[in-house]
Amino acid sequence: AQKITQTQPGMFVQEKEAVTLDCTYDTSDPSYGLFWYKQPSSGEMIFLIYQGSYDQQNATEGRYSLNFQKARKSANLVISASQLGDSAMYFCAMRERGTNAGKSTFGDGTTLTVKP
């Protein structure tokens, strides 16, 4: 069964520093996609970055990068040069191509607090 594990309930980072949010996943499907979303206190889920299981390079989107280690089944999010507006809940999610195609499985999230 597909499963996402985020082991850090809460993280703190100093403004302008980098932070890594951990995500490990479990799937038996060889083809899948990994996603990170940001959920501010307003509640809306904001898409940040995507990594396909067959992508050779780690995904990057501005200050966000995904450290994809397929053999270890990990997909950590790295936020560089943290800003106060980065304070939010962050969710890792996975979608498969097989019998579970369509639905996303989410972790329980990590609350990030950026300190001034």
Partner 1 sequence: GAGVSQTPSNKVTEKGKYVELRCDPISGHTALYWYRQSLGQGPEFLIYFQGTGAADDSGLPNDRFFAVRPEGSVSTLKIQRTERGDSAVYLCASSRGGDTDTQYFGPGTRLTVL
Which residues does 83 contact at the CB level (< 8 Å), separation at least 6?
Answer: 15, 16, 114
Which residue's CB is nearer to partner 1, number 64 or number 106? Answer: 106
* Cβ 49 vs Cβ 68: under 8 Å: no
Does 112 contact partner 1 by CB under 8 A? no
Torsion of CA 112, 115, 60, 33, to 10 degrees: 0
As measured in angstroms, the least distance from the Cβ of 67 to partner 1 is 19
Which residue's CB is nearer to partner 1, number 41 or number 116? Answer: 41
Task: Tell which one of 3, 70, 103, 115 touches partner 1 (CB under 8 A).
Answer: 103
As measured in angstroms, the least distance from the Cβ of 74 to partner 1 is 17
Two tokens, residue 108? 């329980």
Q: How many residues bind partner 1 (CB under 8 A)?
A: 29
The number of residues in the chain equals 116
List binders of partner 1 among 45-64 (CB under 8 A). Answer: 45-47, 50, 52
Give counts: helices (H), strands (E), the chain: 0, 12
- The footprint of partner 1 (CB under 8 A) covers 4, 31-33, 35, 37, 42-47, 50, 52, 91, 93, 95-97, 100-109
